[in-house]
Amino acid sequence: MSYQILIQPSGHILTAKSGETILEAALREGFSLPYGCRNGSCGICKGKIIQGSVNYGRHSEETLTEEEIKSGQALFCCASPLTDLIIECQEINAVKDIEIKNLPCRVHKLDLVAPDVMVISLKLPSKQRLQFLPGQYIDILLKDGKRRSFSLANAPHNDEFLQLHVRNYPGGAFTEFVFNHMSIKDIVRFIGPLGSFFLRDTPIDAAIIFLASGTGFAPIKSILEHVLYQENNRSSKRKMVLYWGARTKADLYLADLADNWQQEHENFTFVPVLSEPLPTDNWEGRVGLVHEAVMQDFKNMEKYQVYACGVPAMIKAAYHDFTNYCNLPKNAFFSDVFTPSTSNPSISQES
């Protein structure tokens, strides 16, 4: 059984599956409602039930009192619809609407996915969740007061753990600590979410080109997983293609994941590109500069959007060539540049 939910004052309509909370249904269908803990502790997701009935779920009685329930209030991270609903809440419509937090977290898992790439899973305190737009990043706070920026690689709907993809740059203050000293259960502190690299509202039939080099795959992964999750139950799905460039096959550290997306979603295509494949790679795929591979396949980008993430040289070349030779509108190119920490002594993006 499913239930229709009308959000006021926006007028947005979504469908909740049986057993889904209002917040889960909204995130699945691409509507950003405010939330913090997702377990009924913080009260950030509190809104009003204008019409209909809900199961209020397990929550702190201090966060949602009996008086508030009688007045029509509910915690949308806990409440599940029992009928069709009309609710009232203020939706998150832009980066400025999202709270930037300073939080501790614990290292939950360390996965060496390539000789120089570590995937870190961070566990937040039990009563905290980080609301963010897919593609945004956090700043890790170092003990000397400096910061290191890392894109969030997990999608917002899958936020039990925050995932970072960290490359071991020589001389990188934080990355060398990650590879040589970091252990499970270590505590780190961060500020976030930050950044304006996120998927803009586009017509459902608009085609999107994603362009990544190295660990620039991290924010692209967050965006793609979120879009594919939202589009699971939609009949109309936008065409998307990911070009991921690296030097050798080992540098495509999660290529199997992208291959699986391609097999499971007919509207998604994955094109890996190597610039310096090793003889032992036995590479039969595309070779060269990743942005040039895009240009070979898309002569006219007039009706496309491009989301590019990676090293400065790739971003600069892609923007110049796409806008000058492939008719890409300048306002349709969105990018996030990754620079090693040694290039900026105070704030830099290492992943």
Q: Is the pLDDT of residue 347 over 50?
A: no
Secondary element (H or E) of residue 318: helix 312-325
Tell me the pLDDT tens digit for each residue of 219-237: 999 999 999 998 876 766 8
Angle at 75 between CA 72 and CA 79, to 5 degrees: 90
Q: Which two tokens stand for residue 333?
A: 């190119």
Residue 309 lies inside a defined structural domain of this protein:
yes
Out of 163, 194, 225, a domain closes at: 194
- 90 within 8 A of 72, measured Cβ to Cβ: no
What distance in Å separates the CA atoms of residue 198 and residue 102, rounded to the nearest whole number? 21
Mean pLDDT of the chain: 90
Are 219 and 324 in a shared domain?
yes
Are 213 and 327 in a shared domain?
yes
Q: Is the pLDDT of residue 342 over 60?
A: no
Residue 345 banded pLDDT, cuts 50, 70, 90: very low
Please count the residues of the chain: 351
Angle at 154 between CA 241 and CA 201, to 5 degrees: 55
Q: Which two tokens stand for residue 233?
A: 């139950």
How many domains does the chain contain in total?
3
Q: 3-state class of 193 per DSSP?
A: strand
- 125 within 8 A of 104, measured Cβ to Cβ: yes
**Cβ neighbours around 106 below 10 Å, total:** 14
250-268 b/e (C-beta count within 10 Å ≥ 16 → b): bbbbbbeebeebeeebebb
Are 255 and 140 in a shared domain?
no
* Closest by Cα among 239, 270, 274 to 255: 270
Residue 240 is predicted with a pLDDT of 96
What is the amino acid identity at position 99? Answer: E
Residue 200 is predicted with a pLDDT of 81
- Record the pTM: 0.80
Residue 130 is predicted with a pLDDT of 92
What distance in Å separates the CA atoms of residue 42 and residue 127, rounded to the nearest whole number? 7
Out of 136, 161, 194, a domain closes at: 194
Those residues whose C-beta lies under 8 Å from the C-beta of residue 102, and which sit 6 or more positions away, are 141, 189, 190, 191
Mean pLDDT over 47-53 rounds to: 96
What distance in Å separates the CA atoms of residue 78 and residue 80, rounded to the nearest whole number? 7
Residue 3 is predicted with a pLDDT of 96
Residue 97 banded pLDDT, cuts 50, 70, 90: confident
Residue 113 lies inside a defined structural domain of this protein:
yes
Q: Is the pLDDT of residue 29 over 60?
A: yes
Residue 214 is predicted with a pLDDT of 95
- DSSP string for 62-104: TTS-HHHHHTTEEETTT-EESS-EEEE-----SGGGSPPEEEE
Residue 204 banded pLDDT, cuts 50, 70, 90: low
Q: Is the pLDDT of residue 94 over 80?
A: no
Residue 200 lies inside a defined structural domain of this protein:
no
- Residue 161: strand pairing partners: 123
Residue 315 lies inside a defined structural domain of this protein:
yes
Q: Which two tokens stand for residue 326?
A: 């492939």
Domain range for 31: 2-93
Q: What CATH number is associated with residue 265?
A: 3.40.50.80
Q: What CATH number is associated with residue 136?
A: 2.40.30.10
Token pair 């947005």 is at which residue? 12
Out of 170, 194, 218, a domain closes at: 194
Residue 350 banded pLDDT, cuts 50, 70, 90: low
- 150 within 8 A of 321, measured Cβ to Cβ: no
